[in-house]
Amino acid sequence: MNEEIMTHVSDNMRRDALRSRLVFVLKVVIWVLITYSFTTDTGLYASYPGLRQVAYGMNTFLTGSVVISIGQFMFISLYRRQNKKNNRVRGNYILGITQIATLLNVIFLVLGLMLVFGINPKEFLTSITIVAMAIALLFREYITNLISGLLIMFSDQFTIGDTVRIGEHQGKIMDITFANIMVKNDDDDVVLIPNNNAFTVNIINQSLQNSKKLTVDFELPLAHSYHQDVLERDLVSVLEKYAADIVQGSFQLKVVGVGKDFVHYKFQLTTTKKDTGLRRKLRNDLYLKVIAYDSAQAAAAKQQN
């Protein structure tokens, strides 16, 4: 499963890289042609001032875009050269540089459109200063999310492809954007977690630990927790049909907390391979056995009364 995901991501990265090269070459060709047209005295722009305006706007956008693309290529190449032993699917640094390059391209696109329509960018920005402040207040949440996203992208805490637990959500990180973290859980649901939440909740990166370890947390009423040996025997019986997929002797049941009327248990084991489907089935069967044990203890207590 993981090999298929890595192959799929690798293929997508190769296609994106090829598409980026073709777009870069096209931008350079158009930029050279427009720049050359400014140096020739054909009188075309003098006769058609509107065409000169369009060409000037396109030249502004393409100049900025070409410089950004070159800078992006240099930073990413330097990063990869210094991290050849990094075996992650996709580095956060590369993701952050790509997102910043996209944002800068949008800014230059807006500047180019202003010039096309005859708007002076400096005068325009000066005139909307108060409006910009109001917009910043209205979109404060998104701006803080954007800043949080940048901090995450340039950190090594987790990256795309890692299996993490963020608050109550657990799954594999599919993408990190300026707005949120996309996590695909065991039910194949894609959960969008705002970047701000990553700084306010506990994050567990299971990919940095033993990814073959499976942990099942559950609680039982205090009155049904006196026969821990029976509970452990019931849980171990579930593992018999998965004997070939579980490291023998790796399972353990332990109490991690006691409340007023409940006991918090943790059952841990280690699988022999990384298989999301196997982990899902194991977790489901173990929870069903806990429910059956709880029902049996409740029935026994009722008979005694």
pLDDT tens digits, 84-97: 655 444 567 777 88
DSSP state at residue 245: G
Q: What is the mean pLDDT of residues 38-62?
A: 81
pLDDT tens for each residue of 114-132 = 888 888 877 777 777 777 6
The pLDDT, as a whole number, for residue 9 is 47
Once rounded to an integer, what is the mean pLDDT over residues 75-104?
A: 74
| Predicted model pTM | 0.58
pLDDT at 80 exceeding the cut of 50 = yes
**What pLDDT was estimated at residue 89?**
44
- Per-residue confidence (pLDDT) for residue 210, from 0 to 100: 52
Helices H / strands E in the chain, number of each: 9, 8
pLDDT attached to residue 6 = 46
Instruction: State the pLDDT confidence band at 105, using cuts at 50, 70 and 90.
Output: very high
Taken in order 216, 185, 169, 177, the sign of the CA dihedral is positive
For residue 109, which of 61, 75, 73, 154 has the smallest C-alpha distance?
Answer: 61
Look up residue 66 and give its two tokens. 């070409």
If DSSP codes are grouped into helix, strand and coil, which group holds residue 262?
strand
DSSP, res 154: T
